[in-house]
Each structure stands twice: as C-alpha cells, then as structure tokens.
Structure 1
C-alpha cells in the first residue's frame, strides 16, 4: 500500500492457522472479507481501495478468514457460522493486543462476523463499518436453502460444476466489470463453508438496537445477495450513516469515505 511496509503474521485458534497482514501506524482498524474470497482475491478484484485508510493514520489489519485464502480450516459446518467466525475475530484482537477498543470493518460475511463480535463484546470496538450487508432475517431462508443444495451438489459431483455455475450468475451493474476470481475455499471444506453460512444470520434486530456503537453502512444497488432492505434496516436499527452506490465510480470512493469516517472525532 504505497510506501507503507506490509507485515505478515499468523496465529492459531481452534485448530486453524489464520494469516493476516498488518500495515500502517496509528489506531487499529481490522477488516474481515466476504465469503469465498480472501485478501489476495479481493486485491485481484480491485474492489476496495484500502490505501486511504492507511494514509489517514490507521494501522490496518486484514486477515484471511478460516478456510479462506491462506488460512487453514477443517470440514466442520459449525466452524463457518457467523458466531464461530466472530470468535475468530475476537481471538485475533487478543492476539494483536490492541490495548483498547478498535475500529472493525466487514464485507458481506465479514459484516455478519463483525456484528456478532460487537454484540458479544461491544467493549472491544469503537466504530463499525459494514460493507454490503448480506441477506438477513426475512430474506435469509432462500439464500440458506440454495447454500444447502449447493453443498449437496458439490459432495455428489465435485466443486467444478458449482464454480462454473457461479461464474455464470449475473452480477450487479455496479461491479459488472470486476474481474472474476475463483472461490478460495478448497473442495474439502467448501461444503462446510456453504452449510455454515446457511446456518447463519445477522444478530436479531433487538440486539442491534441495543448496540450503541457509531456505525457506517455502505451498500450498492440491485444485488439480491446483498439487498438494500438489509442495509436500510441495519442502518435504522444502529442509527448508522448509510451510503448507497449505484455506479462503479462511486464504489471506488468507499476507501476515502471509510477513511473520512474513521478519522472523525470520537463520540
């Protein structure tokens, strides 16, 4: 990221070795990526620009979620539910020994991870940035059913057919030109990742209402996997700022928006 030195680190938790990168100096901000990707995959996609966050005086830690990217994982469905992934995030904060509350950012699956961690241990967090809140509550069951069916298909026929079908699915217009990157979980753990996510949901609305943390929600339009209904409801429950992008050019501003938000005065 520019002239900043990127340091690599690992830690072990619940039988997995989790890899992360640590760049910049200043207050700590931790980022959890979306499902089926990883740090390197997101970088190849060019989806988010994190340089403004580091340039604004933040120590940014991005990690590969269990079973994704370079991090290891076992074929255990329960390891990939949002609450279990939140446990990994809290363990990462302990490993980093931040010495105080941190800013946490998460995209899609990472959004669910961050929210569950914040509901469980709000004292560990200062601000939240929720990118692309996924299907939740009333919209979650159709997604869960599709994931369960996909896991069964992979076990019967292998992962290649599922990967090919995934590449043929239409993408939101705002990211139609983003390079396609193969999912990073391997065929051994992929069914468990799918079933773990099928068993997941965002915390109940009443839990979000009780969460008194400043929050920013970033969403884009016309994406059934990340419906605006979730972003709007989450923003209302959290009393959060909400920004919706309707063009790729606007999505490219998210790094600057996040940097500006995190650099704001503390409440």
Structure 2
C-alpha cells in the first residue's frame, strides 16, 4: 500500500504546529467549496494545532480515477492514512470529516485505532437501512452524471440548493452558498459516474465495529436534511462509546461549530 501511494496526486494543505487534525470533506466537495460556504471558519483554527486538509481522489485539484473502487470509503480511508503518514509521519492524530469524510474517518480509525486520538463527525450521511434505500437513487445520478458532467450537475443543483441544505442555512448564506458547487463544475463525467456508483455501495461500518471504537468523538449534525438525517447522527452517538452529539436547529447553532471543533482538539492536545 505504502509503495503504491503517490502523494503528488493529492492537493493538500498543512498549517500550524502541534496536535494534528486531519480533515476530510464531503461528497463532491473540496477545500475550495468548504471555504466558499464559510461555515467552517478554518482561518480561525489556532496555529498551535496542526490542520491537514486535502482534496479526496477525484475531487477538487486532486487526480481523478474512473475506477469505482477508488471511491469506496474503505479506499478513501487508505488514502487518508497514507497521506497523513507522508505529511505528518507517525503522529497520533484527530480525524474529522463532513458527510463522506465521516465514512473515510471511521474506517481509518478502525484500521489503526491506536493512531487516532479523537474523531469529529460532521453531518453524518445516510447509513445502514437508510443507505440501502438510496442505492437506486445513486445509480440514477451516476447515469445522469455520465451525460451531464460536473457543469451540468452543478447547474441542476444550483436550482435546487434548498434540497441540499437546511433552508435556514441557505437564507443565512445566500451570497456564498452557491460557491459550494464550484468544485463540482470541473469534475469529469467518467469520474463522476464512478463516484456515484461507489456511493451506491458505500456504507458505515457495522454497529458491532463502531462499538469497539473507544475514542473520544464529537458529532455535529443539523436537522431538515434528508441526505444527512439526524437519526443517523443520534444512532452513531448511541453506538460510539465516547461520543458527544451537538444538534443544530438554526444558524446560530452552526456558528458555534468551529469553536466546538477547536475546543475538542485542544482538550486532546
């Protein structure tokens, strides 16, 4: 695995010194789209902590693939581990991510629990029974992506942005919310098809596996989002032995998330 990993295929950024947080973005996202949305406030992340962010395979400015297996959460977890090893060495890290990034972080933690000091799971996506019910949807989107490409999908999503995010978040970020689609516009048809076909197969680890993760965990979730149901976040909070769940029902709650992330990391530093 280590010998075949090519770090030059990944766009990444590492800042600060100290306890590392390795952050993974969500499906169709990237560092650029996170910064455009503006809710992460990474510019406020303290320099006495290390922050490693990157664009996942096929996303942002990282190299793409037409191989579905490269987009499975287990594969993304391997990428996460190898990138961390190449950039940070054998340090014990905090893993965090949004949506898809929750999946890669959880599998990476299961692979090397002794190397993970904490977990931050933002907006956990559908899982288990709910994930199974979405498989046909992801397969349909894969076909559409093959025809429309990133620009076409971005145009459609822009018209229905209220279906992707809670209405109160869209209202609060009217001038920046469409920026989260910028990364999607440059994505290739073939890689998008593979990404959605993988999404149809992806799922969280089993409840039995998650119950073995005795790692401090911060879960951040909001309501009124079918792609990131609050029920999945509450189930994760019940399954993970050391989990703490924060539910957001308005923009003021989400505005607290960057501080919650920083405080969590500082406590584990």
- Are the structure 2 counterparts of residues 127 and 254 from structure 1 closer, same or farther at C-alpha, using a change threshold of 3 Å? same
Matches within 5 A, 1:130-145: 130-145=121-136
**How far apart, CA to CA, are the structure 2 residues paired with 1:98 and 1:253?**
31
**How far apart, CA to CA, are the structure 2 residues paired with 1:192 and 1:15?**
21
Q: 2:267 aligns with which of 235, 247, 264?
A: 264
**How far apart, CA to CA, are the structure 1 residues paired with 2:251 and 2:200?**
29
Q: 2:26 aligns with which of 5, 26, 34?
A: 34
Name the residue aligned to 2:244: 241
Name the residue aligned to 1:84: 75
Structure 1 residues 172-181 or 213-222, which shifts more? Answer: 172-181
1:46 CA displacement? 0.8
**How far apart, CA to CA, are the structure 2 residues paired with 1:115 and 1:231?**
13
1:103-138 CA-partner distances (Å, limit 9, x unpaired)? 111100001010011111111200001101000001
Name the residue aligned to 2:5: 13
Matched position secondary structure for 2:134: helix
Matched position secondary structure for 2:221: strand
**How far apart, CA to CA, are the structure 2 residues paired with 1:235 and 1:222?**
18
- Are the structure 2 counterparts of residues 126 and 21 from structure 1 closer, same or farther at C-alpha, using a change threshold of 3 Å? same
Q: 2:195 aligns with which of 184, 190, 193?
A: 193
Matched position secondary structure for 2:82: helix
1:265 CA displacement? 5.2
Q: How well do the aligned residues superpose, as a CA RMSD in angstroms?
A: 1.9
Matches within 5 A, 1:1-267: 13=5, 17-55=9-47, 57-156=48-147, 158-169=149-160, 170=162, 171-177=165-171, 178=173, 179-181=177-179, 182=181, 183=184, 185-239=187-241, 240-264=243-267
| Unaligned stretches of 5+ residues in structure 2 | none
Number of residue pairs the alignment of both structures matches: 254
1:82-101 CA-partner distances (Å, limit 9, x unpaired)? 00100100101210243331
**How far apart, CA to CA, are the structure 1 residues paired with 2:145 and 2:208?**
36
1:133-183 CA-partner distances (Å, limit 9, x unpaired)? 000001102332211101112324555443333223323124213311322
1:166-210 CA-partner distances (Å, limit 9, x unpaired)? 223323124213311322532231111111111100111110001
Contact 2:117 / 2:268 at 8 angstroms: preserved in 1?
no
Matched position secondary structure for 2:46: helix
**How far apart, CA to CA, are the structure 2 residues paired with 1:158 and 1:228?**
30
Matched position secondary structure for 2:190: coil
More helix by share: 2
Q: TM-score, normalised by structure 2?
A: 0.88
Name the residue aligned to 1:6: none
- Are the structure 2 counterparts of residues 97 and 253 from structure 1 closer, same or farther at C-alpha, using a change threshold of 3 Å? same
